[in-house]
Structure 1
Amino acid sequence: MRLLLVRHGQTPTNVDYLLDTAVPGPGLTELGLAQAAALPEALADEDIEALYVSTLLRTQLTAAPLAAARGLEPLVRDGIREITAGDLEMLPGDSAQGELYMRTAFSWASGDTALRMPGGENGEEVLGRFDGVVAEAAASGARTVVMVSHGAIIRTWTAARADNVDIQYAATHRLANTGVVVLEGSLSDGFKALSWAGASVAPAGGAGPAGEPLDDAG
């Protein structure tokens, strides 16, 4: 299966750099709406057969132009919503609390899935719910699937499931609004990331493109 993980368009809390993960969450800014409107052209070469969105409003608004252009009905799934911030909700992402949020998430990708976000989920729960939606998409027979999701969970899940993306890569490659990670593979055989925000990803053991050491969530 070819899997395209798309971060939603810009929100007001992205602008303020806050850990905003609660459902339903805010809508999109004017820039976010423009980013969403550009998605159909950006993905014009992809033969998309299924489109999934999370339970947060911003993913549904981001997917709407693509759904209209392709005649697809977005499938709303809680499993691909953002990692719940718990006690860190609405705190600044560029603070010590924001660092704790991302450090906890990336610990799950390294295998410490029992670790729990303060007041929130543990890694087994987060990776398991995302896996469940990926498994559903694979079982549908769709060959190319788009999932409009969120920055932190896309980076964490990809680091945990893609053979050629490690924690260092995911931690130092910020995914901008409507940035896309393209993967191929399966949960049983493993995934390989083909591109990250338009840049090719090296095979396992290779050197990937350089990135900025920035973290984001939401």
Structure 2
Amino acid sequence: MRLLLIRHGQTPSNVRGVLDTLVPGPGLTELGLEQAAAIPAAVAGEGIGALFASVQARAQLTAGPLAASLGLPVHVREGLREVIAGDLDMKSDAASIEMYHDVAFSWAAGDGERRMPGGETGVETFGRFDRVIDEAAASGNGTVACVAHGLIIRAWTAARSSNVDAAMASRNVLRNTGVVTLEGSPAVGWTVLSWAGTALGGRRLDEGASIGPGSLPD
């Protein structure tokens, strides 16, 4: 199975640099709508057979143009929502953003029982995401796309793939409407084929940009 994990388009909270993981959360900026409209052409050759999106408005708005172009429904799932920031929600200071990333990538490195302040543990977060991926795999489609969020895509990929670890994922941002493409299944595991359009085996993944404003989770 081929799995496309697509980050949503730009939001006002992205522009403001705010940790915003509430539901339904913000919509898209004008640029975000343009980014969403460009997705169908960008993935036209993928043969997507099913499309999922998180319960947060920005993911569903991003999925809309792709759903229309494919003639597919959008399956909205709670499990795809962003890593819940808990006590850090709506903060924009550097210490809060650093803690948010540090906790999520510690989960990917194996400390799944650690809890986000006022939020979930890694076991809970990855568990809910896993259940959606299990459903996608059970659909029988050769290629499935999920529109979700930057940090959960990066951390889950690091935890579940054979060729991207927490250190690599933490160093490589996934900008708005960036795509992580994986191949495999829940039973046999996953291999990352490309990260935001860069094929693994070409430019080394760990040569990407460091964490910065583009890596904010919402």
TM-score (norm 2): 0.96
Correspondence for 1:111: 110
Q: Distance in 1 between matches of 2:201 and 2:159?
A: 16
Q: Distance in 1 between matches of 2:205 and 2:85?
A: 29
Contact 1:9 1:35 in 2 (8 A): yes
What per-residue deviation string (whole Å, max 9, x for no partner) do you get for residues 156-175 of structure 1? 00000010001121011110
Q: Distance in 1 between matches of 2:217 and 2:166?
A: 16
Contact 1:164 1:202 in 2 (8 A): no
Matching residue's letter, 2:168: Y
2:155 aligned with 1:156? yes
Matching residue's letter, 1:162: S
Q: CA RMSD in A?
A: 1.3
What per-residue deviation string (whole Å, max 9, x for no partner) do you get for residues 102-127 of structure 1? 00000101111000000000000000
2:202 aligned with 1:211? no
Correspondence for 2:96: 97
Q: CA deviation at 1:207?
A: 4.5
Q: Distance in 2 between matches of 1:108 and 1:142?
A: 29
Contact 2:172 2:205 in 1 (8 A): no
2:172 aligned with 1:165? no
Correspondence for 1:16: 16
Q: Which runs of 4+ in 1 moved over 4 A?
A: none
Contact 2:168 2:206 in 1 (8 A): no
Matching residue's letter, 1:6: I
Q: Distance in 2 between matches of 1:54 and 1:109?
A: 20
Q: Which runs of 5+ in 1 are unaligned?
A: none
Q: CA deviation at 1:25?
A: 0.3
Matching residue's letter, 2:6: V
What per-residue deviation string (whole Å, max 9, x for no partner) do you get for residues 118-167 of structure 1? 00000000000000000001111111000000000000000000100011
Q: CA deviation at 1:210?
A: 1.2
Correspondence for 1:3: 3
Q: Distance in 2 between matches of 1:191 and 1:135?
A: 12
2:88 aligned with 1:88? yes
Q: Which runs of 5+ in 2 are unaligned?
A: none
Q: Report 1:11-160 matches (<5 A).
A: 11-92=11-92, 95-160=94-159
Contact 2:172 2:206 in 1 (8 A): no
Q: CA deviation at 1:208?
A: 2.9
Q: CA deviation at 1:201?
A: 1.6
SS in 1 for 2:184: strand
TM-score (norm 1): 0.96
Q: Distance in 2 between matches of 1:187 and 1:202?
A: 23
Contact 2:171 2:206 in 1 (8 A): no
Percent pairwise identity: 58
Q: Distance in 2 between matches of 1:140 and 1:69?
A: 20
